[in-house]
Amino acid sequence: MSHDDRPDEPAEARRRRGLMSRIGDLIPDAAARLGLADELRRARAVAAFDRIVAERAPAAHGACRALRVEGPVLVVEADAPIVAQEIRLHARQLAEAFRAAPAGAPVSEIRVTVRPRGSSSGG
């Protein structure tokens, strides 16, 4: 009996358990099977942009978010004009970091729109 075996566990349950895997390694395949691969990719890109803003433009962190990638353009929404200006000021560095991030995309431009939090996005 190995150190992982539990004496009170039936042999069938031990066989079913099999090799352990990290859940993060299983999610992409599961998302693809469920038709959610694009949504997972988008969520990871949004999270990557949030981390990059926290690092490189901390004054804007929490008041902006990546919405989507349109070709070479990352579309970002800011809660106020001053936040949009901060993103534009750091746009080159943010785009470079986003391109280099594992969950990023090959963007060359950041387009910022202003939409105060709580206002309707129209869809």
In order of start, what are the domains of the chain with their CATH numbers?
Answer: 11-114 (3.30.300.180)
Task: Reply yes or no on whether the pLDDT at 67 is more than 70.
Answer: yes
**pLDDT value of position 39:** 73
Q: Per-residue pLDDT tens for 2-51?
A: 555 566 666 666 666 667 777 767 666 766 677 766 777 788 899 999 99
87-111 pLDDT, tens digit each: 999 999 999 999 999 989 999 999 9
Quick one: average pLDDT of 49-55?
Answer: 97
Q: What is the DSSP string of 53-107?
A: HHHH-GGGTTSEEEEEEETTEEEEEESSHHHHHHHHHTHHHHHHHHHHSTT----
The residue among 76, 66, 69 whose CA lies nearest residue 111 is: 76
Q: What is the pLDDT, as a whole number, of residue 81?
A: 98
pLDDT value of residue 9: 66
